[in-house]
């Protein structure tokens, strides 16, 4: 008998409050170092300086890659929980409320000193987002917290790629997930994550990661080749591999099976923040309900299309209800 109180999917990652700004390319050129579309770790004062230069007040939302995916699954009827470290401040209370209000169990560990983390998302007119992240308390998650009992009963543990910067923590989560008998899903997060953590990725993909998500840039950083080459490489290391191709859809591979899925058309793209996270939410919801790969990919595309039409990664509840209708009809 299935315990209805036990989460089917548990996300682990950084509880980050998103600060969203619409900017022009000139602001990136003049005041932001690094490649457009990338992510860099910075201190809180660097984020404050960019916000000041923009002369705008950011839109605030609960974010973080694994959290976005986990909450998305919750909105699609999957029993979920999210584990992360936050501060003992107002942003932590805000974050906890946002999780629980969407049906996700908030297993947040509060740090007594460090502040709740935040990420500045700079959205340019082409809907591309360039991110600057201050982890704060999110970087203080203790590897000793994780054992098989942490994930008891879960079918999937969703781990965000940014956790790879802490090798000890990543290994502890992977070991605990495997000991609990859960599938370990990993989103590669950004090309910088892949570039600077190639060694530990090799280790994780050698028998610990079951499901891997990558976009074109992350796939190129991994193999140096085409998306198809990356798909073949990742599928040879994991049970299930996904390479997302932006406007061209996505490739999905499981064993010798290959499926190409398209995108869902939208009237206009407002912001791509959280698009990959929400795509993964739809895909994993379908996976947990035993759907064929093509339908899992269609659910991913529906979720990705919904989120790019709003600022930030918070899909309106009416859209979640609509997409859940597809999932319910197919199961």
Within 76-197, where are the H helices? 90-101, 167-179, 191-196
In a domain, 252, yes or no: yes
| Per-residue confidence (pLDDT) for residue 271, from 0 to 100 | 78
| Per-residue confidence (pLDDT) for residue 3, from 0 to 100 | 59
**Closest CA relative to residue 301, chosen from 273, 279, 328, 277:** 279
Phi and psi angles of residue 247, each rounded to the nearest 5 degrees, phi first: -70, -10
C-alpha–C-alpha distance, residues 234 and 191, integer Å: 15
In a domain, 177, yes or no: yes
In a domain, 94, yes or no: yes
Q: What is the DSSP letter of 115?
A: P
In a domain, 48, yes or no: no
Using alpha carbons, list the distances in angstroms from residue 202 to 223, 235, 238. 12, 13, 11
C-alpha–C-alpha distance, residues 214 and 127, integer Å: 19
C-alpha–C-alpha distance, residues 278 and 274, integer Å: 6
Report whether 297 contacts 248 (CB < 8 A). Answer: no
Report whether 108 contacts 15 (CB < 8 A). Answer: yes
Parent domain of 291: 9-15+64-114+138-330
In a domain, 269, yes or no: yes
| Per-residue confidence (pLDDT) for residue 119, from 0 to 100 | 86
In a domain, 20, yes or no: no
| Per-residue confidence (pLDDT) for residue 134, from 0 to 100 | 87
In a domain, 41, yes or no: no
- Structural domains in the chain (count): 1
| Per-residue confidence (pLDDT) for residue 1, from 0 to 100 | 41
**Closest CA relative to residue 119, chosen from 65, 192, 187:** 65
Using alpha carbons, list the distances in angstroms from residue 38 to 28, 50, 123. 12, 16, 12
| Per-residue confidence (pLDDT) for residue 51, from 0 to 100 | 92
| Per-residue confidence (pLDDT) for residue 31, from 0 to 100 | 83
CATH number of the domain enclosing 259 = 3.40.1190.20
Report mean pLDDT in 10-residue bins for the chain, 331 residues: 78 92 89 83 88 90 92 98 95 94 96 91 87 90 97 97 94 98 96 93 96 96 93 97 94 96 90 89 98 98 94 88 97 91
In a domain, 28, yes or no: no
Using alpha carbons, list the distances in angstroms from residue 109 to 27, 47, 70, 317. 36, 24, 17, 27
Report whether 251 contacts 230 (CB < 8 A). Answer: no
C-alpha–C-alpha distance, residues 188 and 65, integer Å: 10
| Per-residue confidence (pLDDT) for residue 4, from 0 to 100 | 66
């Amino acid at each position: 008998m299935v315990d209805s109180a036990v989460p089917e999917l548990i996300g682990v990652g950084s509880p980050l409050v998103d600060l969203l700004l619409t900017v022009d390319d000139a602001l990136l050129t003049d005041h932001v170092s690094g490649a457009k579309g990338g992510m860099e770790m910075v201190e809180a004062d660097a984020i404050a300086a960019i916000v000041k230069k923009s002369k705008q007040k950011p839109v605030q939302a609960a974010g973080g890659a694994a959290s976005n995916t986990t909450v998305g699954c919750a909105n699609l009827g999957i029993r979920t929980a999210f584990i992360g470290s936050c501060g003992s401040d107002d942003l932590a209370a805000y974050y906890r409320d946002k999780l629980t209000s969407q049906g996700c169990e908030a297993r947040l560990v509060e740090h007594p000193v460090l502040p709740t983390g935040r990420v500045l998302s700079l959205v340019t007119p082409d809907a591309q987002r360039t991110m600057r992240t201050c982890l704060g308390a999110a970087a203080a998650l203790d590897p000793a917290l994780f054992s098989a009992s942490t994930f008891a009963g879960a079918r999937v543990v969703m781990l965000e790629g940014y956790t790879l910067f802490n090798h000890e923590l990543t290994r502890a989560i992977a070991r605990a997930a495997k000991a609990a008998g859960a599938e370990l899903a990993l989103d590669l997060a950004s090309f910088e994550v892949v570039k600077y953590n190639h060694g530990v990725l090799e280790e994780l993909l050698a028998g610990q990661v079951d499901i891997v998500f990558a976009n074109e840039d992350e796939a190129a950083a991994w193999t140096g080749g085409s998306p198809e080459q990356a798909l073949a490489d990742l599928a040879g290391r994991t049970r299930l591999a996904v390479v997302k191709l932006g406007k061209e859809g996505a490739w999905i591979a499981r064993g010798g099976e290959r499926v190409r899925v398209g995108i869902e058309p939208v009237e206009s793209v407002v912001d791509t923040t959280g698009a990959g996270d929400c795509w993964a939410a739809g895909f994993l919801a379908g996976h947990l309900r035993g759907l064929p790969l093509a339908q899992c990919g269609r659910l991913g595309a529906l979720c990705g299309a919904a989120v790019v039409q709003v600022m930030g990664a918070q899909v309106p509840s009416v859209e979640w209800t609509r997409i859940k209708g597809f999932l319910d009809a197919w199961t």
